[in-house]
Amino acid sequence: MTNGFPSGFTWGAATASYQVEGAVSADGRGPSIWDTFAHTPGRISDGTNGDVAVEHYHRFADDIRLLADLGLTAYRFSIAWPRIMPDGLAGSANPAGLDFYRRLAEACLANGVTPYATLYHWDLPQPLEDAGGWLVRDTAYRFRDYAVAVHDGLSDVIKHWMTLNEPWCSAFLGYGNGEHAPGRTVGVDALKAAHHLLLGHGLALDAIRTEGSGGSAYGIALNPAPIHPASDSPADRDAARRIDGLRNRLFLEPLLSGQYPADVLEDTGTTEWFAAQEADLPLIAAPLDFLGVNYYCPTTVAAPDGPISTPGPSTQPGSENVVAVDTGLPTTQMGWPIQASGLRDILVAINKLAPELPLYVTENGSAYPDVVTADGQVEDDERLDYLRQHVAVCKDLVSEGFPLKGYFAWSLLDNFEWAWGYSRRFGIVYVDYATQQRIVKKSGRWLQDFLR
Ligand code: IFM
């Protein structure tokens, strides 16, 4: 036991390809939807993009040494599909792309760090979006082919795999309210995209697991959140049911129970469409070795009296009248309320659905406007506090015998925070974007001391 955690507990930090790598034209990488989106005026609040990011493509060896110096023994990164299949099509696996991730995984292993790879953290090859993106079934099959190419190329050095990261974001921010690439805005399309993402997950898992991969573990990372009604009124309780349905049950139930929540399909008028996809469910519900949970905050919702607002671009198709309510909790720079007990709530809720399933916190972290002091330090006490509170929740759960197997801080490094550009820092390591200098923040030092 170390600090109340069993010695086998995994401690890591996470990043994602487009957020950190830069080098967008290196070694045959093709364009992704995020290149297109970020270069479209008005899409990113500070007008930036991931062209350079934090140069992780060239600096990964130093970054992994830094991660190991912090006492972390796992690195969760994502593989950029457009580096492996620049045009998104099978038969075109790019050896230089595979070679980059081989070098990265080998650098992890050389530093005593276990690589945890996510196959899709939102950077769809642009040619696949041009062919319909996640709104067409074919993309799920292309994802399977890509997953097989990566797994064939790297399964000797990578033993922990996640298919998708936060399919809710890909579907509802990418196709629902357009805040993320590809920036499409037809509410119910988000549900269709969600299904094709889950189908891609199922196809990929089926293909890579049957390829002789003894000793490897396969999962998916979701971003479920506790959804609370603002009051006990029937309207608010119904609002919470609806949002919980879109955010949580639409993903957890097909994956863990092999069915879609009927009420969500009814609310969104998609019952008939989903009935036609029913044959995909056994594939989607194939057993997982673990589930990754990315947790940041809970949400409290209400359904105010009065007319339903006109449905526009929305992350909550069929429930556009539902509003998020400020409950007075302190918030991070993202405006996200801080409530560490929400991490317990969501993990316990998932555990009820799948009592035997090992769980990992695959992301957890907070954004604050860090500053470098005159003596070159970053005193991020608020982030440290956030980290300490959430780690304490994990400790309690583990001490109760809960099947929580690891914790990954989001993020190892400050990076490109999607539609917020570089204006939101989540790292436990500060990055000076002008010089690319890395400075371990006080929160990172705290983690290092804690793990020592
Ligand atoms: O930066 C993102 C990450 O890519 C996915 N999960 C949430 C993080 C913070 O918004």
Domain range for 61: 10-451
Say if residue 417 carries a ligand binding annotation.
Answer: yes
Q: How much is the average pLDDT of 326-352?
A: 98
Closest atom of ligand 1 relative to the 365 alpha carbon: 9
Is there a domain that residue 1 lies in? no
Query: What is the number of domains present in the chain?
Result: 1
The edge-to-edge listing of strands for the beta sheet with 323-324 is 227-229, 299-302, 323-324
Residue 166 annotated in active site: yes
Distance between Cα 417 and ligand 1 center (Å)? 7
Mean of all residue pLDDT scores within the chain:
96
CATH number at residue 234: 3.20.20.80
Is there a domain that residue 343 lies in? yes
Is there a domain that residue 56 lies in? yes
Say if residue 422 carries a ligand binding annotation.
Answer: no
Say if residue 294 carries a ligand binding annotation.
Answer: no
Please choose from 56, 168, 363 the residue to mutate so as to test ligand 1's pocket, defined by most ligand atoms within 8 A of CB: 363
Distance between Cα 41 and ligand 1 center (Å)? 22
| pLDDT band at residue 65 under the 50/70/90 scheme | very high
Say if residue 55 carries a ligand binding annotation.
Answer: no
Predicted confidence (pLDDT) per residue in 109-141, tens digit: 999 999 999 999 999 999 999 999 999 999 999
Q: What is the 3-state secondary structure (H, E, C) of the chain?
A: CECCECCCCEEEEECCHHHHCCCCCHHHCCCEHHHHHHCCCCCCCCCCCCCCCCCHHHHHHHHHHHHHHCCCCEEEEECCHHHHCCCCCCCCCCHHHHHHHHHHHHHHHHCCCEEEEEEECCCCEHHHHHCCHHHCHHHHHHHHHHHHHHHHHHCCCCCEEEEEECHHHHHHHHHHCCCCCCCCCCCCHHHHHHHHHHHHHHHHHHHHHCCCCCCCEEEEEECCCCEEECCCCHHHHHHHHHHHHHHHHHHHHHHHHCCCCHHHHHHHCCHHHHHCCHHHHHHHCCCCCEEEEECCCCEEEECCCCCCCCCCCCCCCCCCCCEECCCCCCECCCCCECCCHHHHHHHHHHHHHCCCCCEEEEECCCCCCCCCCCCCCCCCHHHHHHHHHHHHHHHHHHHCCCCEEEEEEECCECCCCHHHCCCCCCCCEEEECCCCEEEECHHHHHHHHHHC
Distance between Cα 367 and ligand 1 center (Å)? 10
- The residue annotated as part of the active site, out of 21, 129, 166, 179, is 166
The interaxial angle of helices 381-399 and 442-451, nearest 10 deg, is 30
Closest atom of ligand 1 relative to the 165 alpha carbon: 5
pLDDT at 27: 98
Say if residue 418 carries a ligand binding annotation.
Answer: yes
Is residue 253 within 8 Å of 325, Cβ to Cβ? no
Residue 212 has pLDDT above 60, yes or no: no
Is there a domain that residue 428 lies in? yes
Distance between Cα 78 and ligand 1 center (Å)? 12
**What are the structure tokens assigned to 335, written together?**
């405006």
Closest atom of ligand 1 relative to the 367 alpha carbon: 9
Task: Give the closest residue (by CA) to ligand 1 atom 1.
Answer: 417
Residue 38 has pLDDT above 90, yes or no: yes
Q: ∠ CA(414), CA(325), CA(220), 5° rounding?
A: 50
- The residue annotated as part of the active site, out of 21, 129, 253, 363, is 363
Question: From its phi and psi, is residue 358 left (phi > 0), alpha (psi between -120 and 50) or beta?
Answer: beta
pLDDT at 424: 98
Is there a domain that residue 136 lies in? yes
**What are the structure tokens assigned to 161, written together?**
């795999």
Is there a domain that residue 4 lies in? no
Pocket of ligand 1 (CB under 6 A): 16, 19, 166, 294, 363, 410, 417, 426
Q: How much is the average pLDDT of 414-432?
A: 99
| pLDDT band at residue 88 under the 50/70/90 scheme | confident
Is there a domain that residue 3 lies in? no
Please choose from 54, 118, 362, 411 the residue to mutate so as to test ligand 1's pocket, defined by most ligand atoms within 8 A of CB: 411
Is there a domain that residue 367 lies in? yes
